[in-house]
A and B are shown apart, each in its own frame.
Chain A
Amino acid sequence: PHLRTFTDTFQTCKIQGAWPLIDNNYLNVQVTNTPVHPGSTATATSKITIIFKNFQECVDQKVYQAEMDELPAAFVDGSKNGGDKSGANSLKIIEKVSGQHIEIQAKYIGTTIVVRQVGRYLTFAVRMPEEVVNAVEDKENQGLYLCLQGCPQNQQIDFRTFHSQTPETGSRRHGTGSNGSSFTPQMAGAKCKEKLPVEDLYFQSCVFDLLTTGDVNFTLAAYYAFEDVKVLHSNKDKLHLYERTTFGSGTAAPQS
């Protein structure tokens, strides 16, 4: 999947299996990514688990879980708010589009989370105060979590390697199915431009996804990811990103 971190770095990662996105005193978010085709290194998010930790007289511990083809508008206990405490309504789930789009408002920590199902896979976006992001008991021993530290170097995918190949070798390299070779870079670019007219990293991600999977739903995933950034990001001058985060060995990634 493509990751935009709290510090506006942008990466494309393998991160197959379960990975933590956020882990602080108030909130824990974990995602599970599965190969888009059997044996493929390209993965997409198939499960998201969000744990809101018990907080004073505001909320009980609440767990939200979304999986492929199951995007509930309630916590796993069936409730839609923070429980029985006096401030319970400072945490609530709002269904935007049934089975496709939910928003979780956690007012007690100034946080908004958006989860969508686009095509078969899930997308995640969060707006969170810096104070909450940095609220960890033991900062020295804080474990890895992707929204803050980004993906480990060995999990990052180099766009340059991918783009330097022909579509056919590209699809073989990524192990995609027959759909993977149905788009040429030109066709993918044209398709993505319909939804993402600015050739930023969202556009590039869209092209990458079409070339690796041939699944046009990923065009919408990139489109909605950008729509979410527009709503959730506090700096409207930083919505579009053009420079990919530097790569593992320290070499700079190509600009758009």
Chain B
Amino acid sequence: CKILKCNSEFWSTTSNSHHHTGAEDSVEFCTALRTYAHCTRRTARYCRGDLAYHSAVHGIDDLMSQHNCSKDGPTSQPRVRTPPPWDSQERSDSPEICHYEKNFHRHSATPNYTHCGLFGD
């Protein structure tokens, strides 16, 4: 579960902005919140039952409501990050969530695979 990464990215983004008083700041804050929400959704599969995760999800809803943020709207551009060694053969912008096996391996043992086939008459 990588909810702390989402938390730190959100706080890092918002701590650089001003005090959220003007309309422009509000737009920026909503954008940061949507990005935060997006990040939590990515972690949902592995964070189920994690207190920090559920707190974050509720906190985001509250903040969105307080700031009248729309759930649909622009999000922040993803940050450029140094890809870990196992990503060296993949597109650098391909999110980790899009690699089932790499994701799975970090959280559990080797996945069990099943097979199904249909052929003939």
Binds B, one of A60-68, A69-77, A216-224, A244-252: A216-224
**At the interface, is chain B mostly helix, strand, loop or mixed?**
mixed
Q: How far is A6 from B114 in the complex, measured between Cα atoms in Å?
A: 5
Judge whether B100 and A107 touch: CB under 8 Å: yes
Q: CB within 8 Å of B: which of A169-198?
A: none
Cβ distance A93 to chain B, nearest Cβ, rounded Å: 16
Contacts of A126 in B (CB 8 A): 115-117
Query: How far apart are the CA atoms of A43 and B111 in the complex, in Å?
Result: 35
| B90-115 vs A, Cβ < 8 Å mask (1 yes, 0 no) | 11011101111100100000011111
B49 at interface by CB-CB < 8 Å: no
Question: A110 an interface residue at 8 Å Cβ cutoff?
Answer: yes
Given the known interface contacts A56-B42, A129-B104, A234-B113, the answer about A124 and B97 at a Cβ–Cβ threshold of 8 Å is no
**A146 to B118 Cα, complex, angstroms:** 10
Indicate if the CB atoms of B116 and A2 lie closer than 8 Å: no
Please count how many residues in chain B sit with their CB below 8 Å of the partner chain's CB atoms.
26
Q: How far is B120's CA from A36's CA once the two chains are assembled, in angstroms?
A: 10
B91 adjacent to A130 (CB under 8 Å): no
Q: A residues bordering B, Cβ < 8 Å?
A: 1-8, 12, 21-22, 31, 36, 42-45, 56-59, 86-87, 89-90, 107-111, 118, 121, 123-133, 146-147, 205-206, 208-209, 212-213, 215, 218, 221-222, 224-225, 228-229, 232-234
27 contacts between A and B (CB under 8 A): A3-B116, A4-B116, A6-B115, A6-B116, A12-B120, A45-B119, A56-B41, A56-B95, A57-B38, A57-B42, A59-B98, A89-B91, A109-B100, A121-B121, A123-B120, A124-B118, A125-B116, A125-B117, A125-B118, A129-B112, A146-B118, A208-B120, A209-B120, A218-B120, A218-B121, A225-B119, A229-B117
Once A110-B113, A129-B112, A234-B112 are accepted as A-B contacts, the answer to whether A56 and B97 lie under 8 Å apart by CB is: yes
B84 proximal to A (CB < 8 A) = no
By beta carbon, the residue of chain A nearest B93 is A86
